[in-house]
Amino acid sequence: MIEKVCRFVILFFTITYHSAFAQSKELPNNIINDWVNKECFSHASLGIYMEDGDTGETIASYNDEKSLIPASTQKIFTTAAALQILGPDYKFVTRLSYDGEIINDTIYGDLILKGGGDPTLGSEYFKNNYSSSNFLDIMVDSLRNRNIKFIYGDIVTDVSIYEDQTIPDTWVWGDLGNYYGAGPCGLTLYDNMCKIHFSSPSVAGEPVKIISVSPDIPDVNFENLVLSSDINKDKTCVYGSPWGGKRIIRGTIPKGKTDFVIKSSIPDPAYLMASELKNKLKQNGISFSGTIKKEKYIQNHNNRFNICSIYSPSLMEIIMKTNYFSVNLFAEHLLKQLDYEKNGKGTTKGGVKIVIDYWKNHVISDDGIYMCDGSGLSRYNQCTPKQMVKVLLFMKNKSQYGDLFFKSIPDASEGTLYYFHKENFPYKSLKAKSGSMTHVRCFAGCIKTVSGKDIFFSVMINQFLCNQYFVCHQVEDLLKEIRMSL
């Protein structure tokens, strides 16, 4: 009798266990199926993949091998590859040198600004490293320490570390003049961004005035076509190309503002840096007789003598800012720097090949992935949700820098996840990189469930027609439900 009871108890718990296991496996897919069939996604292309980070079990999937536009989640491919290849302690270096000779207090020759691709000089994201233009102060102080008072020569900008084309082929015209469309340069400064200050009348529909531009950019004309509006937000767009001497500003800003700021890309960062150095020399009593020239037009700089070297923060610090705040410029610098370090060329296409080859050799097939840039700004970029998750899992399980990398991914209500509610993901139970552009929203990261599972996920939504913030809250609800269900 006792033996029969024992057999019954064992059978009962075996059936119960397998039933519960089957239900737990089925539940996330039911959640996903209900979610993708929402009316708001009726015209959208969606892809979802979720995997248990410890067991490798597929938790849920929907179009997981469908190629979709990743937007800024593409930075995961770029920053993770840069970290693996260059290492967390890698630093960019900018050099000030001279050719010719120094006699007493005079340089007879040119000052040469040798760009090393540092994206952080004067950056708003690194105020603790560079207070405003203090990198220029370092250069001037190095000259003063040598008792230099006169320079008979030119200031020459050498940006040969990167290709001449500063932006990828597939970026759209409407992005290039705006701050997020700034391209990388061998001599980048101030995030290659300027601030345009406006004042607007108290009534809507009237022209607004430009008060100032900071920093002041020489030889650039701003054509202001902006009007005041009842809409209480920035609705402007800045149009202009790299190297171009004109920026056209269209759209509206709120009415009744005394100092309303929008941001524009800088057409020629290297020229601006040289101009600011020239002004600093004058302010510090160092006489300069020449003009500003580009290195490619100068032939006699074979013998250079270093005056000072300025090192960037570590690569890991740069990656922290890149992913946390989704900085396009930094990601594009990392991509070109990979090509420079590997091939000595500093091109976008070369950097793309390095990133794709790295992930192909380590964790993913290159079927379904197409990269045009490092940041995700191009609408031609394509990848699958499964590829995105596999890269995240590599960084979690196989990378020696995994813990560092995941510190760069925002928690709920922080960084670019500021609109997610922390109470829905307590104890830092969600880390995710977001990506957005018109009609595109993507998220990739890790959820820690109520039972302690680490679920790595990618949710990609393309060509939806509803409100962006509504879509974000739909994704938030989905991730919250997954967290509570496992």
Span 24-88+315-485: which CATH code?
Answer: 3.40.710.10
Q: Average pLDDT for residues 57-74, to the nearest whole number?
A: 97
pLDDT band at 309, cuts 50/70/90?
very high
Structure confidence at residue 12 (pLDDT): 42
> According to the model, what pLDDT value does residue 304 have?
87
Whether this model's pTM surpasses 0.85: yes
* Band (3; pLDDT cuts 50, 70, 90): low
Distance (Å, whole) CA 6 – CA 2: 6
- What are the pLDDT digits (tens) for 176-197? 999 999 999 999 999 999 999 9
Instruction: Give the whole-angstrom CA distance, residue 469 versus residue 260.
Output: 24
Give residue 325's pLDDT band: very low, low, confident or very high (50, 70, 90): very high
Strand partners, 411: 431
Q: What share of the chain is helix, strand, coil (3-state, %, to 5)?
A: 40, 25, 35
- Which pLDDT belongs to residue 300? 57
pLDDT greater at residue 13 or residue 205: 205
Say if CB 324 and CB 416 are below 8 A apart. yes
One-letter amino acid identity for 166?
T
Residues of the chain with CATH 3.40.710.10: 24-88+315-485
| pLDDT tens-digit series, residues 251-300 | 999 999 999 999 999 999 999 999 999 999 999 999 999 999 987 555 55
156-190 burial code (b ≥16 CB/10 A, e <16) = bbbbebbbeebbbeebeeebbbbbbbbbbbbbbbb
> What pLDDT was estimated at residue 27?
72
Q: How confident is the model at residue 327 (pLDDT cuts 50, 70, 90)?
A: very high
CA distances from 404 to 87, 316, 351, 388 (A): 11, 8, 22, 18
User: Domain 93-311 belongs to what architecture?
Assistant: 3-Layer(bba) Sandwich (3.50)
Q: In what order do the strands lie in the sheet with 209-214?
A: 209-214, 193-199, 260-265
**What phi and psi, each to the nearest 5 degrees, are found at residue 291?**
-125, 180
What mean pLDDT is predicted for residues 143-156? 96
Please, are residues 111 and 187 in contact by the beta-carbon 8 Å criterion?
no
**What token pair was written down for 176?**
């290039």
d(CA 322, CA 374): 11
pLDDT band at 244 (very low <50, low <70, confident <90, very high): confident
Tell me the per-residue pLDDT of 4-41, one tens digit each, with 9 for 90 and over.
544 544 444 444 434 444 445 567 888 898 899 998 89
Alpha-carbon gap, residue 430 to 447, rounded angstroms? 5
Q: What is the pLDDT of residue 369?
A: 96
The single residue listed with the structure tokens 């190309």 is 241
User: Using CA atoms, how far apart are residues 469 and 419, in angstroms rounded to an integer?
Assistant: 8
SS3 123: coil
Mean pLDDT in residue range 131-152: 89
Look at residue 140 and tell me whether its pLDDT is greater than 90: yes
> What integer pLDDT is reported at residue 21 of this predicted model?
42
Least confident of 10-24, 159-173, 288-302, 398-412: 10-24
Mean pLDDT (the chain) is 92
CATH 3.50.80.20 spans which residues of the chain?
A: 93-311
User: What residues contact residue 454 under an 8 Å CB cut-off, 6+ apart?
Assistant: 52, 53, 54, 396, 446, 447, 448
For 417-472, write each residue's pLDDT tens digit: 999 999 999 999 999 999 999 999 999 999 999 999 999 999 999 999 888 999 99
Q: Max Cα separation, the chain?
A: 109
Higher pLDDT, 128 or 146: 146
